[in-house]
Amino acid sequence: MIVVMRSGATQKEVSGVEALIREMELTPQAIVGTDLTVVAVLGDDRKKDGDRLEQAAGVDRVMKVLQPYKLAMRADERQRSAVTLGGPQTRSEAVVIGGDAAGVPVIAGPCSVEGEREILAAAEACKAAGADALRGGAFKPRTNPYSFQGFGEDGLKMLAAARDATGLPVVTEVLTPTDVDLVSKYADCLQVGTRNSQNYKLLEACGKSDKPVLLKRGMAMTLDELLQASEYVLSGGNQDVILCERGIRTFENHTRNTLSLSAVAELHRVSHLPVVIDPSHGTGKAHLVPSMALAAAAAGCDGLAIEVHPEPAKALTDGAQSITPAVLAELMPKLKKVAEAVA
């Protein structure tokens, strides 16, 4: 941290700040400038709270220097973690996301599991279109309490059946700590959704799961906060975390959210974790999904999560942002070409 003193701060105030820093078991180093004085803090201050210093007499503000995450941080330029979804233990095809994996794996499927027959049909259509994994919600976090909330455990069973039939590993959302074991039993990857991205008790519980975690960015989350959220899972012992950008909330009104694709290169710069893009929630409009999926691939993402529904107009949830299997089938070879172009 760097403590910036107010212009006109007294020597006594500077000494007070130095004392406070020593109390925090860190080392102060004052730098007296022509216009003002700053006090640099030496030592690992990542776990220290700058608030104390900000409140001290004569202090104008405190600037952080060290990143507040350690496990998610990239040690060197070559470190790129790979996370595997599925494999022999669930008799599905193993899908590798991140690391040196070529191409852009696509996790596709409907927003919600809408019935046994429906999810099976969707999974088969996604598989035929070239998707690599299946998504679908059994537990749905709905803004409105009167909206369809998902089938719960029955939905998980339907997903597992669809996996058995197609070999596609399954990604599905978990909403609360007590459901982590249940969802881990059926799924190949736990999704922590946007609305729960700072539900730390849930993240802690996911840190104890033996299944990978797809962690979605919150609507108003900075990348620093996303990495700190991932740190909850990582520090719990689960190393298989995939970060997912799915759009942030801004003043824009032509989309449901603003998909911030610069997150891909920036997260890769500071972290070794793989980054998946969700162009469906990131735009909220089916007609924008293909171009943003291609853009995400060109930006270097490690995978895509796309809402696909055989009949979007009949979807129980999120129909407006779901593409059809036919659109996905047309998209897949282009994605491959783009990924090759930027490799």
Which residues 295-334 are close enough to bind a second copy by CB under 8 A?
295-300, 312-322, 334
Q: Which of 138, 122, 128 is nearest to 172 (CA)?
A: 138
Range 90-109, binding a second copy (CB under 8 A): none
Range 45-64, binding a second copy (CB under 8 A): 46-47, 49-57, 63
Range 204-223, binding a second copy (CB under 8 A): 218-220, 222-223
Per-residue x/- track, 126-165, a second copy (CB under 8 A): ---------------xxxxxxxx-----------------
Contact 301, 264 (CB under 8 A): yes
Contact 75, 61 (CB under 8 A): no
The DSSP string of 13-26 is HHHHHHHHHHHTT-
Please state the closest distance from residue 238 (CB atom) to a second copy, in A.
13
In what helix (H) or strand (E) does residue 144 lie, and over which residues does it extend?
none
Please state the closest distance from residue 332 (CB atom) to a second copy, in A.
12
Range 1-40, binding a second copy (CB under 8 A): 2, 4, 20, 29, 31, 33-36, 38, 40
Nearer to a second copy among residue 43 and residue 99 (C-beta):
43
Please state the closest distance from residue 87 (CB atom) to a second copy, in A.
29
Q: Helices marked H in the chain — which ranges? A: 11-23, 51-54, 116-129, 153-166, 180-186, 200-206, 223-235, 262-270, 279-283, 289-298, 325-342
Tokens of 172: 């599905």
**Which residue in 228, 238, 271, 280 binds a second copy (CB under 8 A)?**
228
- According to the binding rule CB under 8 A, does residue 280 interact with a second copy? no
End-to-end C-alpha distance for the chain, whole angstroms: 38
**Which residue in 14, 58, 69, 216 binds a second copy (CB under 8 A)?**
69
Q: Which of 335, 309, 331, 334 is nearest to 322 (CA)?
A: 309
